[in-house]
Structure 1
Amino acid sequence: MSSTTGKSFKRPLIASSAAAALLGTAALMAPAASTANAATDTSPVAVCLTGNTSTTNEITVKLPQVAVEPVLQATPSYLGPCASYGTPTALGNGNVRTYAQQDNSGKPLSIGFVFPKATLQNLPTTMSDRHHCYDIDGNGTIDEHTECMGGHELPLDLPAALTNTPGVPYKWALMNFNLMGHGPTGIYDVQHFDFHFYVQPKAERDAIRPGPCGLAINCDDFATATKPVPSQYMPAGYIDNGVAEVAMGNHLIDQSSPEWHNQPFTRTFIYGAYDAKISFLEPMITKAWFDGLLAGTNTNGCYPIPQPQSWQIAGWYPKDYCLRYRANRGDFTVSMENYQHS
């Protein structure tokens, strides 16, 4: 995280005279607004100031409330503190990477995925990357629709600044693009993305073998994946439908989610489980929802994550997940926010 000091603030601004001018404008705006309306909240707001969408020239500054929106409209800056980033991986005409925003103590404020709008163009046109397939019917051929799982997967590293922070249980991330969705039929069989935040080590996840049970999973591993999660760790309102998958584990379903009540699937939140433990947290979002954010027919927003009574691994856990399109940067974010320590 960058600190806001006179010295730290000069170097990045050399690359952006426009940003420097905006800071000067902000300084002039604040007292005028305060005089016009004494009730206006003038407490400073953290903004990550940048003159371009590169992640190499970002600096956290504090601006008066009245200056924030003009700066965000005029530059690709965003509400701070500045993020740390994982390694980008190509998808479509763009890429996907993880990011994290933390306060000065290291507490996570936002952990998520970020990708430019170009990522939604020229997406894969096949059902699967064939990384996780099994000849379930034994006929000597692989049917990508029924015998391959995971769609197109992108394993991603999380920022080192995040994973090196004590009390952060997340180890890595995984994004999946599903061209025609997946089962159950009539529920999740529409084009969508899965955004996994794993507390399970990647080596353990990778060891979940293919086989003829469940969703192309080894039968012994299916039994391990579907071991009941103790009730105090089971998220409120979630049920186990036995949806265990190769290289992923079981999927616990929010039975109150609209798609289970005769409404179209748009977005939902899934918990993963393996060997009676929560293994990942997963917002699952349709491509159509992102298209709507870009078009302005859907609005940016945050949605509550149902919580268990307690967590098996102590640490920081989110109470909301958020979906946003940032027009000034031309990118989308899918994040978990509103963290509390368990």
Structure 2
Amino acid sequence: MKRMNHLQGFFMLAASLLTITSCQKQVQKEVVASQETLSATEKVIIPGAALLSSAARANVQDYNTFYGPAVQMGNGHARSWINISRGDNKPLAIGIEFTGKSMNGLTDDPMDMAASMFVLPLHQKAQAVTPFDHIVINWNPHGHEPEHIYDVPHFDMHFYKISLEEQMSITGIPNTPPPAGYLPASYVIQGATVPQMGTHWLDPHSPELPPTMAPFTYTMIYGSNNGEVIFIEPMITRSFLLSGVTVSKEIPQPIHFSPSNTYYPSAYSIWTNAANERIYVSLNDFIWR
């Protein structure tokens, strides 16, 4: 597969640094009680038709929201959720809900991996209608390599298609890439291979990468291990999440999907609900593959 040689040095360094630190990661964050009240029945409202395809808009008023358990994060909580239409049991959007307090009280120590990793279980209904098994949020208080690209405070939000046990067994040794067609054609940069995560793939057209080098705000990453695509990852800065800006972007699509015969997202969205002061990141516009 073609590589961009001018970035290889960056990602070799990234791999070595992340390998050292990621080995110390531990699965953590039990469901905890707090003074925050998180309803298990309220809907996640996607703000406006601009974030949905025409097909999804038809069902936007007729759906249920199902939540995973709340997990303590910073001074608040995060949890997974999924919107499923009542008429045809189709996923409309799956994502993460952050309470406003979750962005504060996070560790500032990049070596404190136990305080930087948040495992979000999915509701069983989400596992039934999508390929995803669980979500892992990794907080990077000072970002990570490459320098001048991703070295700002941000979150890695991994939507895994494999079990947590399989994820935690991943080594930091680069291995066989996915066969042709299982990654989007534009994803030709093989980034860091990180223990307990996998190999990261980037799109050279991402504006934060050379030659554009725009300030990093958000981007979409694919991940693989042992020849299989195992996650997709919105990577978003803390400052952008707190900005209140609403965006929706297409997710570049591969030709082949594994597992097949399930629904896959074709777009992702970021927004804040001013009514409840919560921040949302979603994968949406699902297509049967």
TM-score by length of 2: 0.76
Q: Which position in structure 1 is the counterpart of 2:106?
A: 123
Q: Which position in structure 2 is the counterpart of 1:307?
A: 253
Q: How does 1:115-264 map to 2 (within 5 A)?
A: 115-130=98-113, 152-163=116-127, 165=128, 167-209=129-171, 217=172, 222-224=173-175, 227-260=176-209, 261-264=212-215
Which residue identity lines up with residue 168 of structure 1 in the other structure?
Answer: T
Deviation of 1:106 after TM superposition, in Å, equals 2.2
For residues 199 and 41 of structure 2, the distance between their equivalents in structure 1, rounded to whole angstroms, comes to: 41
Structure 1 residue 331 corresponds to structure 2 residue 278: yes
CA contact under 8 A between 1:208 and 1:246: conserved in structure 2?
yes
Which residue identity lines up with residue 219 of structure 2 in the other structure?
Answer: T
Q: How does 1:286-305 map to 2 (within 5 A)?
A: 286-293=237-244, 299-305=245-251
Unpaired segments ≥5 residues, structure 2: 1-35, 45-59
SS at 2:39 equivalent: coil
For residues 185 and 95 of structure 1, the distance between their equivalents in structure 2, rounded to whole angstroms, comes to: 30
Deviation of 1:239 after TM superposition, in Å, equals 1.6
CA contact under 8 A between 2:159 and 2:233: conserved in structure 1?
yes
Over the aligned positions, Cα root-mean-square deviation in angstroms equals 2.2
Deviation of 1:116 after TM superposition, in Å, equals 1.2
Structure 1 residue 280 corresponds to structure 2 residue 231: yes
Which residue identity lines up with residue 274 of structure 1 in the other structure?
Answer: N
Unpaired segments ≥5 residues, structure 1: 1-51, 61-77, 132-150, 210-216, 294-298
Deviation of 1:57 after TM superposition, in Å, equals 4.9
- Identify, as 1 or 2, the structure richer in helix: 1
Q: Structure 1 107/263 Cα, relative in aligned 2: closer, same or farther at 3 Å? A: same
Q: Structure 1 97/253 Cα, relative in aligned 2: closer, same or farther at 3 Å? A: same
For residues 321 and 333 of structure 1, the distance between their equivalents in structure 2, rounded to whole angstroms, comes to: 11
SS at 1:83 equivalent: strand
Q: Structure 1 57/198 Cα, relative in aligned 2: closer, same or farther at 3 Å? A: closer
Q: Structure 1 183/59 Cα, relative in aligned 2: closer, same or farther at 3 Å? A: closer
Deviation of 1:257 after TM superposition, in Å, equals 0.5
Structure 1 residue 91 corresponds to structure 2 residue 76: no
Which residue identity lines up with residue 326 of structure 1 in the other structure?
Answer: N
Which residue identity lines up with residue 188 of structure 1 in the other structure?
Answer: Y
Deviation of 1:80 after TM superposition, in Å, equals 5.9
Deviation of 1:285 after TM superposition, in Å, equals 0.3
For residues 130 and 256 of structure 1, the distance between their equivalents in structure 2, rounded to whole angstroms, comes to: 31
Q: Deviations over 1:223-256 (max 9, x none)?
A: 32xx121111111311232410011010000110
Deviation of 1:168 after TM superposition, in Å, equals 2.0
SS at 2:64 equivalent: coil
Deviation of 1:130 after TM superposition, in Å, equals 3.7
For residues 146 and 177 of structure 2, the distance between their equivalents in structure 1, rounded to whole angstroms, comes to: 21
Q: Deviations over 1:48-92 (max 9, x none)?
A: xxxx974245479xxxxxxxxxxxxxxxxx966331101111111
Structure 1 residue 341 corresponds to structure 2 residue 288: yes
Which residue identity lines up with residue 310 of structure 1 in the other structure?
Answer: H
Q: Structure 1 286/326 Cα, relative in aligned 2: closer, same or farther at 3 Å? A: same
Q: Deviations over 1:10-58 (max 9, x none)?
A: xxxxxxxxxxxxxxxxxxxxxxxxxxxxxxxxxxxxxxxxxx9742454
SS at 2:220 equivalent: strand
CA contact under 8 A between 2:41 and 2:66: conserved in structure 1?
no
Q: Deviations over 1:235-291 (max 9, x none)?
A: 131123241001101000011001002211100000011011100011000011012
Q: Which position in structure 1 is the counterpart of 2:64?
A: 82
Which residue identity lines up with residue 96 of structure 1 in the other structure?
Answer: A
For residues 145 and 199 of structure 2, the distance between their equivalents in structure 1, rounded to whole angstroms, comes to: 13
For residues 312 and 155 of structure 1, the distance between their equivalents in structure 2, rounded to whole angstroms, comes to: 23
CA contact under 8 A between 1:171 and 1:198: conserved in structure 2?
yes
CA contact under 8 A between 1:109 and 1:337: conserved in structure 2?
yes
Q: Deviations over 1:130-149 (max 9, x none)?
A: 45xxxxxxxxxxxxxxxxxx
SS at 1:244 equivalent: strand
CA contact under 8 A between 1:80 and 1:101: conserved in structure 2?
no
SS at 1:231 equivalent: coil
For residues 206 and 197 of structure 2, the distance between their equivalents in structure 1, rounded to whole angstroms, comes to: 21
